[in-house]
Structure 1
Amino acid sequence: MPTTQSAITAGDGAEVIVIDVRPRDAFDEGHIPGARHLDPNAVAAEHSPVSGSLRAIGEIESLLGTLGVSADRRIVFYDDRGGFHAARMLWLMEYLGHQNVAVLNGGLTGWQEAGGPLTTDAAVAFPARFQGALSPRRHATADDVLEHRRAPDGVLIDVRPPKMYDEGHIPWAINIPWSKNLGDDGRFLPADALMAHFKGCGVTPEHNVIMHCQVGLASSHSYVALRLLGFPRVRVYHRSWAEWGGDPALPKATS
């Protein structure tokens, strides 16, 4: 869940792995001391008919292992885009069964505003063995989305901007843009304001929620928001509109 500067600097640094999910050149210009680098698109398949789809799970596990990620470590991700890329990694880690994971609220900007230092020194990462235990309750397929339509407490959220939603969407999806999760300071809204926002859109913790976006990134941001609020049943349809919109057999609507 979102965390603060003190949370990632407290305690034995060997037990906390901080991962910078920004482009390499930005990382090289300055990053949180001890942070390891992960390219924002490293977990996405390079060659796939569905944009943004994940690499094979074994490949992702190996990638995380090279960064020193293991089951007994706390992992904190950050970026400089309001958590846009860091959130996908939090969702992915929970899908892989790793629960001790967080996003740095406010990202690199928040770190600097809090007086946190930057460095250009490269951190030494000692490879570890990471093997996930997939949690289906965090992941949804197109078939799940179709089945979910019949759930009496089911809600499908399309987190894309309204213009994209209007141009084409899943007929029973409601539009709640991911950007509304953030305040003007680039941090997640306080929990009470965030809860009021979702309740105002008709979404409460009692609902069984699936969310999607265009290519599986923005939906993870709203996933983090709902997990922060304690929603127990939240899944990401990570292949999202990139898959659904390109399949002529799946129903679509415009506004």
Structure 2
Amino acid sequence: MRSEANILPLLVDTDQLEAALGQKNLLIIDVSCTRECYDQGHVAGAIFLDFKRLFCGQAPVANKLPSIDQLSALFSELGLTRDTHVVAYDDEGGGWAGRLLWTLEVMGHSRYSYLNGGILAWRADEKAQQTESVQPIASVYEAAIINPVERIELDELKDKLGQSQFAVWDARSAGEYAGTDVKATRGGHIPTAVHYEWTRAMDKDNALRIRDMAEVITELETVGLSIDQEIATYCQSHHRSGFTWLLGKIFGFKQVRAYDGSWNEWGNHKDTPIES
């Protein structure tokens, strides 16, 4: 649950973040796809995070949530404390930023915001950028899984398929959903999953900011995803679904959970049911 003590709301625009720069306990994290993007110019004070640090990196499903030890090491390195308010952004409309914020939520750290449109919006609005690299001030952060309900794993997901008021959101491309673009041992989608590709919610003519929320919610309801359902969202590696999980939070969905194993686990598993 978000606290009234949070420095910023969940979704912030460039003006709001600009006004908050320099505040105590504000930690801005750039999760752009490449270091080059960060080096070209970032929000003042932002530190760079390689998105691969958000994966456990271990077989058989390397994209799953890191271990407690890995999370403790990562967020100590980033300088996180219990009082830190994190603002996350990236250069692609919110996938990696969403994955980071989901990780914080799983750990029970609800002091966070997403910069709508990320660095593309910051640049489009001609906000000042910094090119010098910013080094975090390390802390001692002991991670814990405080909100495991934010995550759904394979066996629970299998058991819930077909239950009333439970829906599965496939955020991948149409080809991946249909099984014509195969990125695992098997192609297709999780049975009962409905398809709404993550980029549909982005305004491509407005720096990938989130489109009109009422319109997006209507589109989601049309395909079978309503705010009063429990929703599990997934993609290939819980990257694109990092953004769709975040959308659910922003839109006020009753319960949106992330399947971090995603298709990299489901599509490579020998006995998971598949539709195409």
Q: Secondary structure at the match of 2:88?
A: strand
Distance 1:44 1:133, change over 3 A: closer
For 2:18 and 2:73, how far apart are their aligned partners in 1?
26
Range that drifts further, 45-54 or 244-253: 45-54
Determine whether 1:2 maps to 2:24. no
How many angstroms apart in 1 are the aligned matches of 2:50 and 2:135? 17
User: Alignment length, in residue pairs?
Assistant: 254
Selected match of 1:47 from 58, 66, 80:
58
Query: What is aligned with 1:251?
Result: 273
Quick one: distance in 2 between partners of 1:205 and 1:29? 39
Cα distance in structure 1, aligned partners of 2:56 and 2:148: 20
Q: CA deviation at 1:84?
A: 1.7
Does 1:181 pair with 2:201? yes
Check 1:58–1:6 CA distance in 2 against 1; reply closer, same or farther (3 A cut).
Answer: farther
Q: 2:109 aligns with which of 91, 94, 98?
A: 98
* 1:46-95 per-position Cα deviation (integer Å, ceiling 9, x unaligned): 33222422321321222112111111111011111111211111111111
Deviations 1:175-214 (A, max 9, x none): 1111111112211112212211211212211111111111
Structure 2: runs of 5 or more not aligned: 1-9, 180-187
What is the CA–CA distance in structure 2 between the aligned matches of 1:57 and 1:104, rounded to whole Å?
27
Moved more, 137-146 or 119-128: 119-128
Q: Kindly provide the amino acid, as one letter, of the partner of residue 213 in structure 1.
A: C
- CA-based RMSD of the aligned residues comes to 1.6
Shift of 1:45: 2.7
Query: Contact (CA 8 Å) 1:20, 1:38: kept in 2 or not?
Result: yes
For residues 27 and 144 of structure 2, the distance between their equivalents in structure 1, rounded to whole angstroms, comes to: 17
- Asked if structure 2 preserves the Cα contact closer than 8 Å seen for 1:156 and 1:211, the reply is yes
Name the structure 1 match of 2:256. Answer: 234
193-202 or 233-242, which deviates more: 193-202
The answer to whether 1:142 aligns with 2:154 is: yes
Q: TM-score, normalised by structure 1?
A: 0.94
Q: Residues 59-78 of structure 1: matches in 2 within 5 Å?
A: 59-78=70-89
Q: Which residue of 2 aligns with 1:195?
A: 217
2-structure distance, mates of 1:42, 1:107: 19
User: What is the CA–CA distance in structure 2 between the aligned matches of 1:211 and 1:199, rounded to whole Å?
Assistant: 15
1:14 aligns with 2:24: yes
Quote the residue 1:155 is aligned against.
Answer: 167
2:99 to 67, 88, 91: 88
Distance 2:209 2:264 in 1: 28
TM-score normalized by structure 2? 0.87
